[in-house]
Amino acid sequence: MSTTLLPTLTFMSAFFQPMYCFPQDYARIFPVTRFPPLNVPDFSSDTIFYMPAARRTLATCIGGLACASLACALSPLDHLLFDAATHHRTGTQTVRWVTELGRMPVLASCGLILAALLSYRARNIQAICLIGIAAICTPAISHTIKNLVQRPRPPFEFAVPPYEPTWSFPSSHSANAVVIAGALAILVGRRWAHWVAFVFALMIGASRIYLGHHWASDVFAGWALGLALLVALRSFPNLRRRKSPS
């Protein structure tokens, strides 16, 4: 039981630690949130901020979820969770619709639309740039890791079609969900947005196991990768703001 709870608790603590420990840093890294309804203080757009709290969050999410992934891969938990998911399927079509939301083309399209609205309100393009960078970097890094690790997927006879032709580790859907949903939550800057992003990422990861497309350790590793990329995006220098016409 404790082994099962470890990845979930680590994911929750790493995902929500920025919200409670250093919310003011969001305004520094993502000034797009600086419009009146959010009541965020103004900061200079030319400063590169050193954030030890972000580094601690990065270490938490990578270390905890990487250990959880390794523990699952080296124990029967992967097979136990896989067997439990594949032998108790109900509402498969609904879960297939959910998992489709984790594909990067879908996430990037929705994310760019929301980012465009935020950029319009803030009169700069930082939100669009952030989502664009995330949409390019996340699949590139996840597929590079897949080709390096080359872990086979679960047997296709237990999976729900359509089948995935790529390697299994890590889960790209899980990483995509964390990065895009997490970035949007940071840009919105509200507590409810963090909860929505967390639930969404959890649903995408669970759907990958339920449909038989990934082992549990693949999903945990995808969450770890997504959190690492999300914190890395927060560490970028501020993009130069587009000046509004005089």
Q: For the chain, give every domain's residue range.
A: 7-17+51-234
Q: Per-residue pLDDT for the chain (246 aa), expressed as one digit of tens each?
A: 444 444 444 444 444 444 434 444 444 444 444 444 443 334 334 333 344 565 666 666 666 666 666 655 656 777 777 777 777 777 677 888 888 888 888 988 998 998 888 888 878 788 888 888 889 989 999 899 888 888 888 887 777 777 778 888 888 899 999 999 998 888 887 889 889 999 999 999 888 888 888 888 888 888 888 888 888 887 665 443 334 443
Residues 6 or more apart whose Cβ sits within 8 Å of residue 149: 167, 169
For the entire predicted model, the pTM comes to 0.68
Q: Which of 202, 172, 187 is nearest to 233 (CA)?
A: 187
Q: Which long-range contacts (CB under 8 A, 24 or more apart) does 192-201 make?
A: 194/15, 194/16, 194/19, 197/15, 198/12, 198/15, 198/16, 200/101, 201/15, 201/174, 201/177, 201/226
CATH number, span 7-17+51-234: 1.20.144
Residues 6 or more apart whose Cβ sits within 8 Å of residue 224: 61, 62, 64, 65, 66, 69, 170
